[in-house]
Structure 1
Amino acid sequence: MHAIMNIFVNESVPREFILLGFSDRPWLELPLFVLFLLSYILTIVGNLGIILVAHLDSKLHTPMYFFLSNLSFLDLCYTTSTVPQLLVNICSTWKAISYGGCVVQLLISLALGSTECILLAVMSFDRFVAICRPLHYSVIMHKRLCLQLAAVSWISGFSNSVLQSSLTLQMPLCGHKVDHFFCEVPALLKLSCVDTTTNETELFFIGVPILLIPVALILISYGFIAQAVLRIQSAEGRQKAFGTCGSHLVVVSLFYGTAIYMYMQPPSPASKDRGKMVSLFYAIITPMLNPPIYTLRNKYVKEALKRLIARIFLIEK
């Protein structure tokens, strides 16, 4: 954090950045504004709905929905750290963000994205215990452990953000035009005046514990889960077990697939437009899709939503 504070007093840094975004395709800006605004509204409504249901419905006061509400809160904050600025820039001719605003956006979005990486691995461990150790589930996944796992996810995510942001922002910059729609590590690396090979290598190895190790743990967990499910005799039991894990696997595939593509390969001019599309996917589309993925495949959440709507209707009446 001290390294980041030093950057603010460095006179060589730009006073603001120009986020080019999609300015090279002005005809796309109006339809993209409508699309991003609708996506943001759906993200807010969907994730707030899951948080409220998980908090208000006593039947959902379990570790699975505790972690799911954490994920929804993460997605809500993550999109809010990038999308409002994106919407303002699309409507403006001067698509600028202050240097301080760029640093804050980088820190927050990277912290929340890193936290989500670890939280998804924690959620896979919860599913592993629920299916492979069902008789001991309540003993193993007690409230204190759940709080500790959530705290580790958040602390690790923010620690990773401070470290990666410090390494990125310490490099001398030769420009202020960011060919991206928000301040992100790969986009800022391209502004450096010096060879970034060493920094890219350092960032790669820092990213391994945040991206690749959680993926490995998720794959191991689901390997054991698959073995346990195949041993279930009844088709209904197998279907229920796969149903509780299927939604999580879909979310994991969407989030990790795009994040690994963006952060585990070196920046290159050829991948510029692809990088923008990938970033849009995990910054806007994935947080919007998470609530319907979890609710449409989960009868308990759907029933809880119906009960909540019924309660609201009766109160209003």
Structure 2
Amino acid sequence: MTDLNSIEHKLQPRISVAPMMDWTTKDYRYFARLFNPNVIMYTEMVTTGAIIHGDAKRHLDFNGEEHPIVLQLGGSNPQDLATCTKMAQDWGYNEVNLNVGCPSDRVQNNKIGACLMAEPELVAECIGEMQNAVDIPVTVKHRIGIDDMQSYEEMLNFVDTVAKTGCNNFIVHARIALLKGLSPKENRDVPPLRYEDVYRLKQDRPELLIEINGGVKTYAETLEHLKHVDGVMIGREAYHNPYLLAEIGQLWNLEAPDRFDIMQQMMPYIAQRVAEGAPLSIITRHILGLFQNLPGARKWRQALSGGNAKTLKDVENALINIQEAMRRTEDYLRDNQAQ
């Protein structure tokens, strides 16, 4: 199995798409990969219980084209995390990440996510067991603080405690999480971004690989962050405006792909998934942002929105409609450029 460390020459700097529940599914990841071969893809967070006691295949399967890909785990039982990390390596994942950033009430009750920042020794034990179980890298994604633990010094203590295990890669969401009083959605927007804390962490611990996450929306912002840290993780903007991933290809001198070429590559995948029984809307909901910020974007979204296809004929018609939407959008763009 080839891990990310062995291909770092190709993946420097580290640019990744954040794990996002219900969004970074395997269908989205396949689509996103078409924009950039070097961006690192993360799964949605998967709990250890869902893997051990549920349908492991459903939670762990991915398309080979998605590499490099990281499985993000949610959990706090060291043995369960080690078991799932070993399964991830056997399944072909390049890396495993422990979620110490999710502020959801549901995961707090199961001691998963951001609440674990208050227990750095437990996180260190978890990471140690996970590392002992595999050869692939194990990383941590965390906040800059939570609730009454909001100082830079407390975050530094958390990182130092975990780093003693040999873990050297930390992805830092540059917002605190207020677990008492704010919803998960509010925790993505209300606490102010404190990029300077993440920059300072890299300054104080230059031997660690530090990536920044939170509020990144443009290629220019990505470049600015890379002056201070080793990598940038992009969240919602990579979903709503996936062509940003193509623009970031400039970091590797990659030629920007054409949006219509991307759809031509996507079409066989859509047909295959529908043939497997997936409702068409389950796939098309992930590609609505293809023409974001361009004339015709609204027409594209309208053409792909709607109910699920229920018969083979419905599927065929829906695929034709997608192709027609592409043609109409292309004509619209061409006409507007000519004016």
TM range (shorter): under 0.3
Larger fraction in strand: 2
Larger fraction in helix: 1
- Compute the TM-score of the two structures, normalised by the length of structure 2: 0.24
- Compute the TM-score of the two structures, normalised by the length of structure 1: 0.25
